[in-house]
Structure 1
């Protein structure tokens, strides 16, 4: 299984390439959608890494794939500006499980 990064920041892309993770640099929403959908459909890719800004732009689609029976692991990482949404994990658990922690 391969991992792939979808990023709109070249610094994040270069950093992940140093860790031997291939990546795709995207500029606009159409590029983001195409790269994400191609990664979801590619059977060789097991882990899809997206930056937080990419996640914000495609939140509904990413959560749809996460909640489906997809065998893909989708990970959101902060980009060079740092973590923006510190309560994301708590909200995600609450939405997924339906309980407040």
Structure 2
């Protein structure tokens, strides 16, 4: 597992959990780091912060679509997720084409 983050706090937290990584902010450093990660066959899961992935979706989607490994997983950073509160229901609705009602509590 390896992390590419847009902030130091997320990297620090992941290092405490034993995950190494790097902080990048721009396209070219991200591209260079991804090339290094893709060449390292010991990395099976690439964690990338949602914000970084949303700034450079073309680069990330290319890896997801054209590579078997590493598996790319977008994670929220310390500011929380960029997804809507109902993103799982929206995903299911889109995937199966059926409106799923949320149970009232």
Normalized against structure 2, the TM-score is what? 0.76
Residue ranges of structure 2 left out of the alignment (5+ in a row): 99-105
Counterpart of 1:53 in structure 2 is: 51
Counterpart pick for 1:84 among 82, 85, 104:
82
| Change beyond 3 A, Cα 1:63–1:27 | closer
Counterpart pick for 1:18 among 16, 19, 30:
16
DSSP-derived class of the 1:83 partner: coil
User: Looking at CA atoms only, which structure, 1 or 2, has the larger radius of gyration?
Assistant: 2
1:100 CA drift (Å): 3.4
Number of residue-to-residue matches in the alignment: 95
1:48-87 C-alpha deviation (Å, 9 max, x unpaired): 0000111112212212221224221111000111011233
| Change beyond 3 A, Cα 1:67–1:22 | same
Moved over 3 A (4+): none
1:10 CA drift (Å): 0.4
Normalized against structure 1, the TM-score is what? 0.79
